[in-house]
Amino acid sequence: MKPGCFGDFVAVWRLSLLFCVLFSGGAVTADESSVSSPIFVYCSVADERSIHLLSFDAESGRVARKVSLKTPGEPAALTSSADGRWLFASMRDTGQLCSFGIEPATGRLTLISTVEAGADPAQITLDRTGRYLFAAYYVAAKISVHQVDSDGRISERPVQELPTAEKAHAIVPDPSNRLVFVPHTGPNRIYQFRFEELAGRLLPGFPRFLQLPDQTGPRHLAWHPTLPIAYVDNEQGNSVTVYTLRGSSLVPGETKSTIPEDFRGQNSTAEIRVHPDGEHLFVSNRGVNSLAVFRISAGGDQLTALEQVPCEPVPRSFAIVPGGRHLLLAGEASGNLQVFEIGGVRGFLREVDKLQVGQRLWWVHAVQPAVRAR
């Protein structure tokens, strides 16, 4: 790439990102969201086959039980529409995808639709318009695209299903909504697709996938909020790799360990999140049972280890609360939901609350429904 071209590429990428936000169906402008709304926390509790709703105090970080809703199977991955009207969940044991309506005042859920989808949907994600639901299947070795109508209902039949490989673990569109990436822990690959937004269809990228070394295990992927840079945690590699988007393909950069140098036990990474400030990255470790905290360089392509924060055992999922002040962590083995304050004076992460939710606490997701000014 010629000198100066990357700067031009970043400018074009940011422009396309802005265009996507402005013209997506789920976007909320500053004028529309001028009235504050409550934050609701949803937890997938596999052993109970239920999704628990918790209240959340945005000032103190305290959480409290509200109500739970039985689900058709063991709920796992959760995601929501940008306006907070709909919650979506995958049922890993029954291979179903479900959508729920969110009552904006109370956060209570109402089941809208359940569709048969495929064996073990490990992760689900909406495209940036909110009109399509992507799913990656760990056992079925495929990905799918379902349409979501204006009432939050998932289409009975998928718009598209594509075979990939075993252990598809995540499916994530880029912020411009032009590209989709699918990490696979089994074959150590990241599949690449182009996305036709109007038709809701995926086309193979070039190359079709990135082949990574054995025992890497690319698992989940998170984007920098303003730069064409992605971060992927490596489940078997106990590390995180920085990728730069060049054209329509990811190019690997540096890789950093997520575990302490003196740790000698078994470990695997799970979730990865980038803070909205674009300056901090978090990765959860199952084995060490910690959150690895990194500082992101101004250019986004360099990571510096900051902290190893002890956490609940088997931290399969964690989420950053809207506004960026708190982090919620689900301890799968303990059933405890742990709340951390972000950016505290006594360490970057500081525990402020803990709540027993239920056995096999698989996923946590925070939603703040949009409230339109009258």
The domain spans of the chain are 5-367
The tokens for 112 are 């809208």
CA dist., res. 281 & res. 341, Å (int): 15
Per-residue pLDDT tens over the stretch 176-195: 999 999 999 999 999 999 99
Q: What is the DSSP string of 204-269?
A: EEEEEEEE--TT--EEEEEE-SSSSEEEEEETTTTEEEEEEEETTEEEEEEEEE-S-TT--S--EE
Per-residue pLDDT tens over the stretch 211-243: 999 999 999 999 999 999 999 999 999 999 999
Share of the chain above pLDDT 70, in %: 89
Q: What is the mean pLDDT of residues 33-54?
A: 88
- Supply the pLDDT for residue 1: 44
- Of the two residues 7 and 359, the one the predictor is more confident about is 359
CA dist., res. 24 & res. 321, Å (int): 22
Average pLDDT, the chain: 92
Given a contact cutoff of 8 angstroms between Cβ atoms, the answer to whether 38 and 368 are in contact is yes
Between CA 110 and CA 219, with CA 336 as vertex, the angle to 5 degrees is 80
Q: Which helix (H) or strand (E) holds 12?
A: helix 5-23
Confidence of residue 26 (pLDDT cuts 50, 70, 90): very low
Q: What is the mean pLDDT of residues 332-354?
A: 91
Confidence of residue 36 (pLDDT cuts 50, 70, 90): confident
User: With 80 as the cut, is the pLDDT of residue 2 above it?
Assistant: no
CA dist., res. 173 & res. 180, Å (int): 4
The tokens for 227 are 């730069």
244, 321, 332, 341: which is closest to 285 by C-alpha? 332
Q: Which helix (H) or strand (E) holds 69?
A: strand 63-70
Class of domain 5-367: mainly beta
- Supply the pLDDT for residue 29: 30
pTM: 0.91
Q: What is the mean pLDDT of residues 30-51?
A: 79
- Supply the pLDDT for residue 10: 56
Between CA 227 and CA 317, with CA 142 as vertex, the angle to 5 degrees is 55
Helix (H/G/I), strand (E/B), else coil: 195: strand
102, 108, 94: which is closest to 52 by C-alpha? 108
- Of the two residues 31 and 136, the one the predictor is more confident about is 136
User: With 70 as the cut, is the pLDDT of residue 16 above it?
Assistant: no
User: With 60 as the cut, is the pLDDT of residue 15 above it?
Assistant: no
